[in-house]
C-alpha cells in the first residue's frame, strides 16, 4: 500500500479550512457527507451572475457522478434552508473538484506527485508566497516544488511544509488530462455505464 492509499479516506482532515460564512456552511455539511460516502473538498461563495454557493465534494477515490451531486444536494439543501446561513437568494452548486483540482489533503499531493501545481503560502519563503512547479519528494510533513519556469535569480527547488499552505491546485496540462482520462477509464469499469465516475467537472445548480 502506497502513502496515498494509507491516508486517503473519508476521515482524512483537510490541510486548510474556510472562514466566515463558508466555514459555517462547511461545519454544517461535513457531518452529512461522511455517512453517504463523500467528503468535502471546499466551500466557496462566488459573486458572478448573482450569488452562488459552491460546495465541492468527492468520494475517497476522487470520483463523483451526476447522481452523487443530486444526492448531496437533496441532503444538504434542507439544512442550509433551516439554518439560514445565507440571508439572501443564492444558487446552490454541487460540483466535483475537476481535473485542475484544488489540493486540500496530504493524499492529494501524494496522488498527484509529478504534476504541475500552483501553491500559495502564509509565510514568505525565498522572498515569495506564490509558487508554481512540479510536485516532488512528498512526505508527511511537506514536499519540494521543482520550478518549471524559474525567473532569473529564483531558486529551482523550494521546500514547502504542509502547515504553511493556504491554497494549492493543479495546473491543467496535457499530461494531467491524459492521467485523468486513464483514471476515468479505470474507475468506469467498476460502475454501470450510466453512472460512470469522472475527474471532469460534474456540476448541478439549484436556485435557493
For 74, the domain range is 7-99+194-207
The model's pLDDT over 89-126, given as tens digits with 9 standing for 90+, comes to 999 999 999 999 999 999 999 999 999 999 999 999 98
Percent of residues in the chain assigned helix, strand, coil, to nearest 5: 30, 30, 40
**69 inside domain:** yes
Contact 138, 2 (CB under 8 A): no
The model's pLDDT over 127-185, given as tens digits with 9 standing for 90+, comes to 899 999 999 999 999 999 999 877 777 789 999 999 999 999 999 999 999 988 887 77
What is the Cα–Cα distance from 128 to 138, expressed in whole angstroms?
A: 21
**73 inside domain:** yes
**61 inside domain:** yes
pLDDT of residue 6: 47
Between residues 186 and 4, the one the model is more confident about: 186
The residues near 161 (Cβ < 8 Å, ≥ 6 apart) are: 141, 142
The model's pLDDT over 34-87, given as tens digits with 9 standing for 90+, comes to 999 999 999 999 986 789 999 999 998 888 999 999 999 999 999 999 999 998
Global pTM reads 0.85
pLDDT of residue 189: 64
Task: Report residue 170 CA to chain centroid gap.
Answer: 9
**187 inside domain:** no
**29 inside domain:** yes
**108 inside domain:** no
Cell reading at 81? 434552508
The residues near 147 (Cβ < 8 Å, ≥ 6 apart) are: 131, 132, 133, 154, 155, 156, 157, 158
Name the domain count of the chain: 1
Identify the H or E element spanning 132.
Answer: strand 128-136
CATH number for 95? 3.30.300.70
**142 inside domain:** no
Amino acid at each position: 500500500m502506497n502513502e496515498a492509499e494509507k491516508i486517503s479516506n473519508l476521515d482524512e482532515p483537510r490541510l486548510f479550512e474556510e472562514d466566515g460564512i463558508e466555514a459555517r456552511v462547511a461545519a454544517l455539511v461535513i457531518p452529512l457527507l461522511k455517512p453517504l460516502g463523500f467528503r468535502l473538498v471546499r466551500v466557496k461563495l462566488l459573486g458572478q451572475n448573482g450569488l452562488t454557493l459552491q460546495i465541492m465534494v468527492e468520494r475517497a477515490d476522487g470520483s463523483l457522478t451526476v447522481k452523487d451531486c443530486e444526492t448531496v444536494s437533496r441532503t444538504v439543501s434542507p439544512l442550509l434552508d433551516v439554518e439560514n446561513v445565507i440571508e439572501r437568494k443564492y444558487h446552490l452548486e454541487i460540483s466535483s473538484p475537476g481535473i485542475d483540482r484544488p489540493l486540500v489533503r496530504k493524499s492529494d499531493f501524494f496522488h498527484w506527485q509529478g504534476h504541475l501545481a500552483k501553491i500559495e503560502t502564509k509565510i514568505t519563503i525565498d522572498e515569495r508566497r506564490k509558487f508554481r512547479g512540479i510536485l516532488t519528494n512528498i512526505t508527511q510533513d511537506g514536499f519540494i516544488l521543482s520550478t518549471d519556469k524559474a525567473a532569473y535569480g529564483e531558486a529551482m527547488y523550494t521546500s514547502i511544509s504542509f502547515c504553511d499552505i493556504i491554497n494549492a491546485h493543479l495546473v491543467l496540462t496535457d499530461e494531467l488530462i491524459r492521467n485523468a482520462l486513464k483514471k476515468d477509464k479505470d474507475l468506469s469499469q467498476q460502475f454501470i455505464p450510466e453512472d460512470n465516475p469522472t475527474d471532469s467537472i460534474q456540476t448541478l445548480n439549484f436556485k435557493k
